[in-house]
Structure 1
Amino acid sequence: MTTLEKDTDTGTKVRGETEQQARRLKLPLAPALERRRLQCYLALIVMDIAGFVASFLLVDYLYLGTVSPENSEQMWIGMIPLYLTAAIALKAYSIPALTSRASAQRAAVAALLAAFTLTLFIAFFTKSSAQFSRFSTAAGVGVTALSLLWIRAAVQGAIRFRVGPTAQNVLVFDDGGVPARVPHAWHIDTKQHRLIPDRDDPHMLDRPGMFMANMDRVLVSCPPERRMDWAMIFKGSNISGEIIDAEVTRLGVLGARRGHGFGALVVSTGPLGLRGRAAKRAMDIAIAGSALLFLAPLLGVVALLIRMEDRGPVFFMQQRQGRNNRLFWIYKFRSMRVEKLDATGSRSASKDDDRITRIGRFIRRTSIDELPQLLNVLRGDMARWSQSGPHSAGETAGAARADLHRCLRCGPC
């Protein structure tokens, strides 16, 4: 039986040993990665600074015909500390940035834009903006952005070689609980290695500790009666320990709370605060309102064609589930004959449905019939104000765009 294995992305076993060989395992299972991660962060910082300097000097050379630090040094010298501060805040130097090139590139560019904005703000209030060339500054920031993107792409292979695909050492103890496979993790069968979570036996406490050495994250899958023992072992091991529970996935648990003598699993949260709701509503109005203004000529033409075809109503309304699970009336351009409208949705539309009008066939094929749902977005019928949704300004904007996207993908009436 294979007792020790390390999973790849596809779950393939890349290392396995028999029971007899496993008892002679060389522990710890993996080298510590904390120092290696720190080395990667420092290397990225140095390369980012070099990218800043090289980018601005390159722009100076191409624009002015000379490489002179005096031309733009005030700009990049002022921006670099701001960039590093923003990069740390935006987690440009973090485990996700080491494991995902896209995440690293997004964080680096976002930090650059934040630093550039703060630099302009400071230059404006110190009345020093006249000292900088607008073209050189804009071009320097643009070239710096490209260099940051290139750096993150170029070093991804070296980072993966240095700290592995996850930049973490993960260990999973299989103690007879729910089967769990974690990619790129060490999986240990506790029965084969005689790992018993006995808190009264110092030797039995020491044995799991040898396996957990240099691990960044340890999970255990065990029956409910042994969860307390494993929990106490994790608490005394100064390690990130987790107990696998199938109910967490089934219930969609968001977190846990303790208080008043009991614990609770958080499966839903209340609405956003006043500021979050205001920001979300502003984004709804801005996006949907702008779309309506931009599409007004098209909407007018479609409404006129529908009216001219059979003199019936322009809009079709149907009840849907909305915010707080309440029903609301959704708006669509009418695509079916008035006498054959199906407001209850008891019959789905088919490709050659005889109920569909000539203009209706076109607007359904092009999804133009869904555009009046922008009115529902403006009214707030389709809004998501839960705290499990947007938190930051970027996430709020993303949720507003998702509302718009959802309104254009509504099912057939």
Structure 2
Amino acid sequence: MTVSLLEHEALEFVRALIRIESINTGSPDTIGDGETRAARLVQERLEDAGIATTFVEPVPGRGSVIARLSGTDPEAGALIVHAHLDVVPVDEREWTRPPFGAVVEDGILYGRGAVDMKDFAGVILAVAREFARSGTRPRRDLIFAFLADEEAGGRWGASWIVDNRPDLLTGATEAISEVGGFSVPFAGSRRAYLLATAEKGVGGAVLTAHGEAGHASRPRHDDPVVRLASAVARIGAHRFPVVRTPALERFLEVFGAERGVTFTDDDLDAQLDDIGFLGRVIAASARQTVAPTVLRAGDKSNIIPATAQASLDLRALPDREHELREQILRLAGDEVEVTWSESLAPIASPLDTRFQSVIARSVAAEDPSGVVVPYLLPASTDNKHFARLGVFGYGFVPLRVPDEFDVYGQFHAADECVPVESLHFSARTTARILRDA
């Protein structure tokens, strides 16, 4: 099969970006300059094609690049096309290939960022160059954003740009990025391509139990470790009810009709198990969730500590943050103090828009049996930051993969990988979407 210049460049740019160790540890002391080096590479490739760019670096090493291509319809709102250039850390002992080697074996590209998300960064860089090279004018303005710091919350990337350089995003009404677009088994030989139209919020809480320190040979009724453990156990055991958000309702409607299943709230978890690895993602998106993640207490076994603490990860559904907090307070009880951490609010974008129709047509042009299905992402992306400007965000990085290939399972995993043909599909489909959006 002949590989087009667009497809060739997409693969080469993804590989070049993977080779840059833009690890985001979350700590300024250990991050280095990888994000800036990746942003400079992108900037050079864009400017080589005659595309003007703006480089921003709020603090040393945390670089991002923005470029705008003008569209043919001045009445259409601009579309932000964004990808983050940072990646999570690796433990090289768990990898069977070099995590930053961008090795291709048997048609598979291996490397940190292969799906999260240097794949899309390389693809949209190739598409921007293809449009400039061919003189293609998209329908609407395209704002290409290659961003730092998404893996640690976006403070020095998308969030900083929204707060300090909103002029770079003038006129934007919609955005496209992760997490979605990859194919999953649907019915028969057909594939579903998931479109994230909403995201859970991300927040945290700290539970603190106070008591009086003492010798462990004389146990106390107000031992803070015991009281904290009791509160954590209640919260961890609580099962929140299913909430049929518009995105979940649409997903269940489409999948149910295709598979001849009527999804019910009482049996939803078991029914979702039947659709494989995707079912676990949808189950997490169907309800509020709280996960105890960190416990802190004494450091000597014969001393009852004066305080004990637990950290909780909170994932709220759209418009239900207050309800989630109230439930945590009830479960924690009166003997435990609850302190709320800074949070990112959930977001939800409209269903059945023109943009979604373009996405569906673009997928069908490359995969006639493919069906685009909305869903609610139980995690978080930079779309949350752009939402503060009134921008509706969607998650769709098109990847046609084999039915047994779990793209979700590649995120932050050892031996992260993606089929090369999937990248070629992504480049072709993304070009269609961005041209007509």
Range of TM-score over shorter length: under 0.3
Using CA pairs below 8 Å that are at least 6 residues apart, which structure has the higher relative contact order? 2
Question: What is the TM-score with the length of structure 2 in the denominator?
Answer: 0.21
Question: What is the TM-score with the length of structure 1 in the denominator?
Answer: 0.22
Q: Which has the higher strand share?
A: 2
Which structure would you say has the larger Rg? 1
